[in-house]
Amino acid sequence: MAQTSFQLYSDKWAVGQIADNSLNQIDSFIASTIIPFGGVVTRTVTNNVISQNKISWVPTTLPAAGSVIGIAIRREMEVTGQYEIGHQVDVLRLGRIIVIVPENSDVKVNDLAYTYSDGAINNNSNNGRLIGRFLSDAKVETMLINGESKSVKLAELQVDLLENK
């Protein structure tokens, strides 16, 4: 029997995994802070100068409106689940990605997605910055995080941050 369907990724979701092979824009930057897979990132600001090639994880900075530039993509070579300082980080600026949402969230398909100064991604617009739209209801998955098996709530996110320089 002939194979009639093909998948780019496995059925199990992983934090920071590209969700599918739809159109995306991925740019590379250098980590100024430790950045977890699926972490929301912003350009690094030093002495009021915005870096063009260095980025930071949002909780380590308090980003100004419009400064969120993307989400750190999972890379299998980084076995710790995060990018270390000085490592090259692939950042999804446009496309679909799997992200962690808060355990108490009620994320549903087509909800708008916001991020906050603590780096969380949720569907609550309260003081958040719009980063995209959820393409799935949130679901709980069990995965290894820093060598420990943990249950986390994940959702598929359509992100479009190309306007943010």
Domain ranges of the chain: 25-160
d(CA 26, CA 12): 22
Predicted TM-score (pTM) of the model is 0.83
Q: What is the pLDDT of residue 72?
A: 94
Domain 25-160, CATH among 2.102.10.10, 3.40.50.300, 3.40.720.10, 2.40.300.10 = 2.40.300.10
Contact assessment for residue 85 and residue 32, using Cβ atoms and an 8 Å cutoff? yes
Tens digit of each residue's pLDDT (9 = 90 or more) over 104-162: 989 999 999 998 888 889 998 887 888 999 999 999 988 766 667 888 899 999 998 87
Tokens of 59: 């909780």
pLDDT one-digit tens code per residue, 84-99:
999 999 999 999 999 9
Residue with tokens 């980084």: 78
DSSP letters along 39-69, please? -EEEEEEETTEEEEEEEEEGGGS-PPTT-EE
Give the C-alpha distances (Å, rounded to integers) separating 92 from 113, 129, 163: 15, 17, 13
